[in-house]
Amino acid sequence: MIRRLDRYVFTTFTRLFFLTLLAVAPLFMLGDLTDNIDDYLRRDDVGVARVIEGYLYSFPQWFQWSLPIAALVAAVFTVSRMTANREVLAAKAGGVSFHRLFLPMLFVASAVTGVGFGVADYVPRTNRVAMDLLGNRPILRTFRDDFTFRTEGGMLLSVRRLNVDQGTLQDVVLTREGDDGSRLHIEAGSGNWAPLAGGWQLTQGRVRHVFEDRSETAMRFDRMRVPALTETPEELLAIARDAEEMTRAEIERQVGIIERSGGQADALRVEAAQRGAIPVATLVIILFAAPLATTSKRGGAAFGVGLALGSLILYIMLLNIWGAMGAAGIVGPATAAWTPNAIFLLLGLVFLIRVRT
């Protein structure tokens, strides 16, 4: 009987999950298209074919957002319908507790969480292509004049002009002071970005090394690569891409660049932490909502919709509140990202314990 009941719960939950997923993702796309259709129609560089291609590339993002919603709706409607049809009561009478009845849904939700982790770093890459096709990326400057920059390798870079489109630097100075009092000073007339050759290639310059005992060496060079200068032209521009276009590793690297330049990167740190917390939300929201769905004596579609929407709105509200606190530096990034999950998990465990088995 247990195996048959597991198959019934698994089949019902999975069918509702995929039906909701097929409905929610296109609705997200349709809503975004409705908001931007006037802009697309006014522009000559975005035609119908390009819009279609852009939305195809943006589909992984809508799919990712739809996963927890579909799992939540499927869990709530599965439990509420079984409650309304007295199937939960019948299972309890047969010696099957609600906790055991809930296991097939928990299994599918765990798989959905794994899928969420799998697509998390794939989505930013497709978002970049979609934004390029649809022209949604704001126009940024492609040069920077008279600036200093602390490199990841610990050197202080001074540049008269950076041209991102051409991948060039003009009048470059690199300095580094050692803990022992030594000093390395590199001057170059220009630099060229050559990723296949290992990074920046400095040309027509001079290297001066002053040692601890004040002795020094100097030499000229025609071409030189500095291993400590690993930043790309876009990173030297010090204008971060939208977080939706960056993978978690790229966000962490951008955080380092901002903080070495003296800026605050708490918002990006919270974003990176949420990349791990949000997929887990699929599990904790279901743990919160499924036991509540058994409290309705009649069940019904209205109750299921209300419970699903209420749970989702509450989670989003907590996510935004704690995210804002993390971005402001009031709490740490990990605390800001994981506290909504912790609250829902705690409440869900309480509800599970209180369910009559």
Question: pLDDT tens-digit profile of 305-316?
Answer: 677 778 888 888
Kindly report, residue by residue over 161-171, the tens digit of the pLDDT: 999 888 899 99
Q: How far apart are CA 203 and CA 93, in angstroms?
A: 83
Q: How far apart are CA 29 and CA 32, in angstroms?
A: 5
Q: Which residue has the higher pLDDT, 341 or 143?
A: 341
- Average pLDDT of 313-337? 90
Q: To the nearest whole number, what is the mean pLDDT of the chain?
A: 83
According to the model, what pLDDT value does residue 355 have? 73
- Average pLDDT of 58-67? 88
Q: How far apart are CA 286 and CA 108, in angstroms?
A: 11
**Strand-pair category, 199-210 with 168-177:** unpaired
Phi-psi region of 233 (alpha: psi -120 to 50; beta: other; left: phi over 0): alpha
Ordered alpha helix ranges (H), the chain: 2-42, 48-84, 87-93, 98-120, 123-134, 233-236, 248-260, 266-293, 301-327, 333-354
Q: How far apart are CA 272 and CA 240, in angstroms?
A: 14
Q: How far apart are CA 169 and CA 167, in angstroms?
A: 7
According to the model, what pLDDT value does residue 19 have? 92
**Strand-pair category, 183-194 with 143-150:** unpaired
Helices 98-120, 48-84: axis angle to 10 degrees equals 170
According to the model, what pLDDT value does residue 304 have? 62
* 322 — pLDDT class (breaks 50, 70, 90): very high
Kindly report, residue by residue over 6-59, the tens digit of the pLDDT: 888 889 999 999 999 889 988 888 888 888 888 887 877 777 888 888 888 889
Picking from 197-211, 224-238, 296-310, which range would have the lowest pLDDT averaged per residue? 296-310
Amino acid 139 reads I
According to the model, what pLDDT value does residue 140 have? 62
Q: What is the CA radius of gyration of the chain?
A: 27
According to the model, what pLDDT value does residue 262 have? 67
3-class DSSP assignment, residue 149: strand
Q: Which residue has the higher pLDDT, 179 or 225?
A: 225
* 214 — pLDDT class (breaks 50, 70, 90): confident
Amino acid 193 reads W
According to the model, what pLDDT value does residue 244 have? 79
3-class DSSP assignment, residue 190: strand
| Closest by CA position to 26, among listed 57, 53, 54, 66 | 66
| Closest by CA position to 57, among listed 148, 122, 153, 103 | 122
Q: How far apart are CA 192 and CA 129, in angstroms?
A: 26
Question: Is residue 335 scored above 80 in pLDDT?
Answer: yes
Question: Is residue 260 scored above 80 in pLDDT?
Answer: no
Two structure tokens written together for 149: 């920059």
45 Cβ contact partners less than 8 Å away, ≥ 6 residues apart: 135
Picking from 142-151, 194-203, 259-268, which range would have the lowest pLDDT averaged per residue? 259-268
pTM to 2 decimal places: 0.71
Question: Is residue 339 scored above 90 in pLDDT?
Answer: yes
Share of the chain above pLDDT 90, in %: 15
CB 103 within 8 A of CB 6: yes
Ordered alpha helix ranges (H), 136-243: 233-236
3-class DSSP assignment, residue 172: strand
CB 285 within 8 A of CB 308: no
According to the model, what pLDDT value does residue 341 have? 92
- Average pLDDT of 265-289? 86
According to the model, what pLDDT value does residue 52 have? 85
According to the model, what pLDDT value does residue 160 have? 92
Supply the DSSP symbol for 298. S
Picking from 53-57, 79-83, 214-218, 241-245, which range would have the lowest pLDDT averaged per residue? 241-245
Q: Which residue has the higher pLDDT, 150 or 220?
A: 220
Q: How far apart are CA 275 and CA 288, in angstroms?
A: 21
According to the model, what pLDDT value does residue 297 have? 55
Share of the chain above pLDDT 70, in %: 92
Two structure tokens written together for 39: 């802009």
Beta bridge partners of 192: 168, 201
- Average pLDDT of 111-136? 84
- Average pLDDT of 250-260? 78
Two structure tokens written together for 124: 């930013």
